[in-house]
Structure 1
Amino acid sequence: MIKNKSTIKTNQELDNEEIALSVKNISKIYKKNNKDYVALEDVSFDVRKGEIFGVVGESGSGKSTLAKQITRLETPNNGQIIVNNRDITNLKGREIRNIYKDIQMVFQDPIGSFDPRLTIGKSIDELLKNNKVPKEMRRKKTIELLELVGLDEQYIDKYPREMSGGQCQRAAIAKALSTEPSILICDEITSALDVSIQGQVISLLKKLREHNKMTYLFVCHDLALVELICDNIIVLNKGNIVESGDAKEIINNPMHPYTKLLVSSIFPISDEKWSIPDIVTDEVENNNCCKFYNRCKLRSDNCKNTKPQLKNVGKNHFVKCHNI
């Protein structure tokens, strides 16, 4: 059981009516070889309606695990997930299926998100049918959804294997929009695409935000892209939020050692002390140790023995580090 319960707000204090998604003290623990593996630890943040909220970190930092808890593909061990003022943490069966009218997820592998036996049109039609859209209206609605994401009517009869990655990702977004969700979770949706296609997908997301007032949770490791599209972000390291707040402020003025390493991998930082260590030494892992201790060049005994807490270091900027 994880006892540390620090609650943060990545935005200024919000009224409940302004919040689309509230994640409160979420923790996820997996069993591996009869040992507990903490994938998420006490993660909290709020996402405003109409906001593009980024979740960044290296592979294995907990980004996709967090997305799975929010969409209830998995059940968290602790905490609450509140969507449009409704607590969905412990919903089961039909109640979980009903939440997908409000929240949808677009995955990294667009082709893999479709049933290969069905055409794109049929895949979308199935969701519309489940959402009680009358049969006589479903084809028209499918065409409208495809056109919304820049695909014309011919794609209704195409199979996923007959489309490019960019076309298939657009179709995946159209499919997700078929339930008219208020929140769209994008899990590394541009990582498998060419740069030019990435730009098209990002432009599409911005257009949908303006026209449909969509709220996005944008899971991504590409900090340049995050700076371009996101309003606020959290930075995850080993399932912990180490920095949070305004996206441009954090990427242009990173303060946590881990965030500095992420930023320096994209935008070189002249300060040598933030370079990534060649060898990780003095492995330490205990409940009170900073999760970044083994890789940090500024570590001290305090970092080894006392778990840091998130603290406010400026307007909408929070950092979890003893040395800040």
Structure 2
Amino acid sequence: MGLRREERDVHERAAEFEAERGHLLAVAQRMLGSRSEAEDAVQETWLRYAGALGDPAAREQIRDLRGWLTTTCSRICLDVLRSARVRREAYPGQWLPEPVVSAAPAADGFAPDPAERAVRADQLGTALLVVLERLTPEQRVAFVLHDVFAVPFATVAEVLGTTPAAARQLASRGRRAVTAPDVPKHTADLAEQHKVLAAFVAAVESGELDRLVEVLAPDVVVIGDSGGHFPAARRPVVGAELAGRFILGLFGQAARWGGPLHARPVLVDGTLGWQAETAFRDGRPLRMVTSFAVHEGRITGVFNQLNPEKVAHLDGVGADEDWPPRY
């Protein structure tokens, strides 16, 4: 009888953890910029939670489950960030986070809802995940916990092993970096993104630089991450005309390779983009996920993820999904 009650209790605790898994993944993904690392951090959080359940004294300390799990997961992420600094510094070329890709809503689902606009404006997206790489591990954890997930500074300080005042200062430094003038702004809701990306695709298809430049913000930035597997610019391409020439050059190269180009609209880190596949000039398959930052009717950032190690987990694009993607 006691054993059954204990087993039932374990199942209930496991179910409570599973209910928090999505939240923990969101926290870890924003801290680490890597889906696989985030999943590992959440799994380690589960192991520590399971261990705490087996210790009556430790179990007694878990009064707020979400708070305890968030704190534990954040400490794990902090350790990962500290150890990842050297790896990131040695990364070949530009770095972009692993894309979190989901199905794009139907075209008639892009309702310009003011409430939705506010929610979308608060989302990180690829642009801000890139900016977070500028921060120290401590600044990143403080900013994500407090500014994104509204965790009190007292708890942030506990995670970082510092004082609430120091945690507040770390978050403030992170906030200044995220809102710096050179950071691509992204404020568009899905309706505006749909309109702007349709114009972008049409301009690319036309091959006319002037037409493409009209869709790009004057300070637009283009970043590509190939992980050293394919040729890619080693530094961001900045400015509408330079970026426009660069983008048209990329599509011109792809056309000369001769292989079919398949693509479909997707959501990338919550913003509208596309997933595309073609064959590289040497015959190797090339898979790419492109996301955008959009502000005031123009594209402020283009982010091309074509590192095979970061897109291998995605489902393939269907042979019937031809270029250009239909927005």
Same fold (TM over 0.5): no
Structure that is richer in strand per residue: 1
TM-score by length of 2: 0.25
TM-score by length of 1: 0.25
Structure that is richer in helix per residue: 2
